[in-house]
A and B are shown apart, each in its own frame.
Chain A
């Protein structure tokens, strides 16, 4: 069992739909990161959170420390949101960004 698991692995949505990507982890963490990777492109950090909820534009990230679960939501999805979304956690014993990565969720938003 991977320490960081994401679901779904693949997701196809129609433009405008509300999207949820889930991440569960099994280790104690210092922080959880949501990352975005466009095809052939670099990685962009979307959120870093250790509790509660953060919002940036149409993106919302939540985390439940007790349940060891985080969700990334995209409201009013757009084709430019098509990318791989990666959940990663920092082990709380390290207190660094030595991250453990999930396998990613490939999102395709169709017009």
Chain B
């Protein structure tokens, strides 16, 4: 596609439910990143993919968070048993190389009630 696409753009869920957030990076971009932007917390790194493998998962806040990437393209971030503190905007970005220019999606705003 022309840019990084994320879905859903908004998700409201109840505490304890599972959610899946999807990222479709720019075609040909091998590196994919998930970040989180919480109110009052700024942006933080969650996980990085190079191809289908995730060399760095150090930013995932707990074992309720997981992510996968298939076909070197689409990535899914899954949050199990959501908590209110998971409420944030989840941003995906991709780059052609590990340290190339980053292209961000519009984000998925998650609200946990």
Contacts and interface: CB of A to CB of B under 8 A. Distances in A.
Q: Is the interface of B mostly helix, strand, loop or mixed?
A: strand
B76 interface: no
A31 interface: yes
Contacts of A45: 101-104
Interface in B70-104: 91, 93, 95, 98-104
A96 interface: yes
A110 to B, nearest CB: 25
A31 B99 contact: yes
Q: Is the interface of A mostly helix, strand, loop or mixed?
A: strand
B36 to A, nearest CB: 11
Contact of B44 (A42, A44, A86, A101): A101
A41 B3 CA distance: 14
Interface of B: 31, 33, 35, 42-45, 48, 55-56, 58-59, 91, 93, 95, 98-107
15 contacts: A35-B104, A42-B105, A42-B106, A44-B104, A45-B102, A88-B43, A96-B31, A96-B48, A96-B98, A97-B95, A98-B56, A98-B59, A99-B35, A100-B45, A103-B42
Given A95-B98, A97-B95, A86 B31 contact: no
Given A42-B107, A45-B103, A97 B98 contact: yes
Contact of A90 (B59, B91, B99): B99
Interface of A: 30-31, 33, 35, 41-45, 48, 86, 88, 90, 94-104
B33 A97 contact: yes
Given A103-B42, A104-B42, A97 B99 contact: yes
B74 to A, nearest CB: 18
